Amino acid sequence: MNETLKVIRERRTTRKFKPEQIKDEELQAIIEAGLYAPSAHNQQTWNFTVIQNKELIEELNVEAKKAAKDFPDELIQKMANNDKFNIFYGAPTVIIVSGMDNGMMPQVDCAAASENMLIAAESLDIGACWNGFVGFLFNGEKGAEYKAKLNIPEGFTPYYAIVLGYKDVRTTNAPARRENTVQYIR
């Protein structure tokens, strides 16, 4: 099987990380993969904010959970109110993926960049998790404060986070794929 297709098939979300920081050259390769993602009209509407400061990552964890405590979804409330739950799963690197507000399709562009980074991480044997929970912080009352604190450019909206670190657990079994999701018209 082609190596790219093999990496895509074997990629699994990692939710348990070793504490050691990933190497700078690995981080740069992952970011570069994000930068080479497709985008609507090649606008490249993404911005990546890389955080490797442990205290700041923990602060974002706490504040995102505070922002989500009253979200009208039982599972989200349970996660937000669980003191032991860490939205970043202890990963040493977090990349906030933001999109340019006046772009044609910034959320789609950011999703494509995120997936490229996830595949690149897997190809380097680095664990990764696509995280939407951080959005509660940026959509909450402290959103503007944290956009400024993280130096996210004016006119950009944070959509997701990609968490990265060396895997402390290996998940090998893929869940069954949902059936009847492809129709062919020839």
- Strand 93-100 vs strand 156-165: parallel, antiparallel, or unpaired? antiparallel
Has domain 3-166 been given CATH number 3.40.109.10?
Answer: yes
Contact 127, 17 (CB under 8 A): yes
- On the question of pLDDT at 43 being above 90, the answer is yes
* Res. 169 pLDDT band, cuts 50 70 90: confident
pLDDT computed for residue 177 by the predictor: 83
Summarize the confidence of residues 94-122 as an average pLDDT.
98
What residues does each domain of the chain span?
A: 3-166
Measured on CA atoms in the order 115, 121, 127, 128, is the torsion positive or negative? negative
Q: Say what the pTM is.
A: 0.94
